Amino acid sequence: MLNIDWETRAKARRVENKSLKKKIKELTYSRDLWKGKYTKTKSLLVEMKKKVETVKKNVQQIVNL
């Protein structure tokens, strides 16, 4: 009885560990994907803000003429 019990528990742990490792892989991939999207969007935002500032300066110069 004791032999079967530890063997059954070990098999169950192995199956659980395997599924948890798979889930970790999927979550890591998903996190990296979203992080990439965030950094890309953030860099685009910074670029657009710089362009807006440049346009504002140009408009101000035109208005002053």
Q: What is the dihedral of CA 62, 63, 64, 65, to 10 degrees?
A: 60
Determine the pLDDT at residue 1: 53
Cβ atoms < 10 Å from Cβ of 44:
10
Task: Convert the pLDDT of each residue in 6-16 to its tens digit.
Answer: 889 999 999 99
- In which band, very low, low, confident or very high, does the pLDDT at 3 lie, cut at 50, 70 and 90? low
Distances (CA, A) of 61 to 49, 56, 57, 58, 65: 18, 9, 6, 5, 7
Domain interval for residue 53: 1-65
- In which band, very low, low, confident or very high, does the pLDDT at 64 lie, cut at 50, 70 and 90? confident
For residue 25, give the amino acid letter.
K
What is the mean pLDDT of the segment spanning 2-25?
91
Share of the chain above pLDDT 70, in %: 95
Total structural domains within the chain: 1
